[in-house]
Structures are given as structure tokens and as C-alpha cells.
Amino acid sequence: MHIPDGFLDAPTSLGTGVLAVGAVGLALRQARKELGETGPVLAGLVACFVFAVQMVNFPVGAGTSGHLLGGALAATLVGPWTGVLVMTTVLLVQGLVFADGGLTALGANVTDMGIVGVLVGYLVVRGVLAVLPRRPGSVVPAAAVGGLLSVPAAALAFTAMYAVGGTAPIPLGRLAAAMLGWHAIIGVGEAVITAAVVAAVVASRPDLVHAARHLVPDLELVDAEGRRTVVRADAPVARRSTRLTPRFAGGLLAASLVVGGGLSLLASSHPDGLEYVGETLGFGSTATDSAAASSPLAGYSLRWLGDGTWGSVVAGILGVLLTLLVGVLLSSMAGRRREGLEGSQTSAGAEGCTEETLVGSEQSERR
């Protein structure tokens, strides 16, 4: 659903750009609370994974295709504010390096997929979790529903932007019906992919899933004398055990490289939902080439190697690595003050944890 240059007029593009800058600035402040002990690396890995999976368009029918948006997935894994940074990273790399989405429309794309897609997806996830059993596995169906609804929500957000500043006279009712209809179907694919990824992470490291951290069971420790100590999962000492191991990080990066540099070759060549709607309703011709169209990696193919398989493979791998780097750097900006804040809270947190631990120990001994 990448909006190209030319679909929206200059005032609308400027307005969404201002909105996007403000939202990203707010996300940089709020994401400090979400980064936790994993730091910016997990955010960068999620960004490069979303980038890779977005390269794989799946057929929808009637000559159109869809691809993962990733907003609900990112929000579920790393939190809504960090999720905004993740999606912004992906869209920056796609727009500036691969000419996927217009440069003047970059603010519109961040607003549409990086803000609406993330926040709607996360709100749905939390809403579904409120009625499901309190266990980490409940995050999987919740994330699926969040992914399912986030895509048509983003489609309606584009419709609203087009209603304000579309460059072609298209009946709003027809545009809304077409966007919502096709993207509701694409949302099914989004739900399946999101659920599969979240299920894999929850099965191996539920403590790394932002939406599941408050559902992780409390820890029960037994000392040499057989005394049991209960440590709440949300206590500071429990949070400190949440570390991104080299094995997990390497596995996620390897999966991203395989998808971006290999499975992307199987992507459908049909236009995605927005392109198809534009062609069907007659405003597709208003799209203009991006200023990044001369990039060596434009179109997800390294021009120096031609338009063949190797050009696509190398472009996908370079895109994954570049997205990882940008994602880590952007998330690091959010975490700069985190160390100072944590340092000032360490003593208070340790005292609270000690008190909780003693209470848990006393209750265990009484039982």
C-alpha cells in the first residue's frame, strides 16, 4: 500500500509530512520505556524482518496482490511506540533507496502504515487480550486479529487522505468501497503471517514479546535449603533476565536474509491493492516517478548485476542489512536517556524487588 508521488496534492503531502515528523518525535520519547534490556537491536531486527517480508507479494485474485504491512506485528513484538520507529525505518529505506513509495508521499506513507497501521493494530491486540485467558499463547490470536483489522484501517486512512487532497476526481464512495474490499482480503494474509511469526517467537522467547510480557508467569526460585521464593514477572529483577541472545538474534537475521534474498523471488508480479484500485478507478495514471528512481537499487534489483536473479538476491540482502543498521541507529536515539533514567531508579527498583521477593517467600513458607 505504498503511496506514490502524484496521488496526493502538495498541501496534503506537506500536512501528512508534518504529522509524521511529530509522531516520530513523540515515538522517540515514548519508546525509551519499551526498549528495555533488549535495547535497540531487537527493534532493528524486527525492522529488517518486516522489510524482507514486505518484498513477498502474495496473490489475492483478479490480477492483484498484497503484502505484509507489518504494523500489528511490530507493535506486538516491540510495543506501539517502538513499532512506529520500526515502520518508519522500513519506509525510509524503501522510499530513499528502493524507490518504493514516493518521496513527497513519504509522510503520507508513514502516517498511513507507520502510525495508523501500528496504533490500530496494537489497540486491537490489547482489546482482544482483555477477553482471552491470561497466558502468553493468547497473544497469537490477538495479533492475528490486530493484523486483520489494521490493513483495512490503513486503507480507510488513505481514502481519507485522498478525500482531502486527491489529484483526480474520484467518487469517494467508490474509492472507499474498493480500498476496503480488497484490503479486507489482504488483511487475511496479514493475519496469517502475523500469527505465524508471533507464534514462533512466543514459543521460544515469550519474554521478548512486548504484548506478552505481562502474561509471563511469575518466577519461583528454590534455594539449597528448599525454601521457595516467588518473584513477580514484572519485577525489575525479572526484567533484567530479558536479554537478546546471539542465537535468537542470529536466527531472526538469518530468516530475514532468506526471505529478502530468496523467497522474495517468488513474489507475485501483480499490482498490489492500492495500485490495482488506482488502475481500476482511473487515478493510477496520476502517479509520477520517485526522485529515487535513479538509485542503483530502485525496483529491488541491483542494476550493476542487471535485472536477473542475482541482482534481486543481492538487492534483497543489502536491503535487509541496511534496514537493520538504520533501525538500530533510530532506536538508539530513543534509548540515549534510558540509561540515565534507569540509573536513577535502580536503587528504588531494587528495594521494591527485595520487598516483593520477601513477601513472596513469606507467603510460600506459610503455605
In this structure, of 24-28, 293-297, 357-361, the range with the lowest mean pLDDT score is 357-361
- Does residue 35 have a pLDDT over 90? no
Q: For residue 304, what pLDDT is reported?
A: 80
Q: Please state which of the ranges 30-39, 141-150, 193-202, 309-318 shows the lowest mean pLDDT.
A: 30-39
Nearest CA to 190 out of 49, 70, 56, 62 is that of 70
Collapsed DSSP state (helix, strand, coil) of residue 284: helix
Which residue spans within the chain are E strands per DSSP?
58-61, 64-66, 219-222, 228-231
- Residue among 73, 83, 110 at smallest CA distance from 27: 83
Residue 11, pLDDT > 90, answer yes
Over residues 40-68, the mean pLDDT reads 95
If one compares 351 and 142, the residue with the highest pLDDT of the two is 142
Please report which confidence band the pLDDT of residue 224 belongs to, taking 50, 70 and 90 as the band edges.
Answer: low
State the pLDDT confidence band at 219, using cuts at 50, 70 and 90.
low
Topology adopted by domain 10-216+246-336:
Arp2/3 complex 21 kDa subunit ARPC3 (1.10.1760)
pLDDT at 223: 64
Cell numbers placing 118 = 501500528
Q: Is 237 helix (H, G, I), strand (E, B) or coil?
A: helix
Query: Residue 359: is its pLDDT beyond 50?
Result: no
Q: Among candidates 78, 89, 158, 161, which has minimal Cα distance to 121?
A: 78
Which three cell numbers, joined as nine digits, stand for 342? 534507569
pLDDT of residue 264: 92
Rounded Cα gap, residues 124 and 7, in angstroms: 29
Quick check: 16 pLDDT over 70?
yes
Measured between alpha carbons, how far is 151 from 239 in angstroms, rounded to an integer? Answer: 32
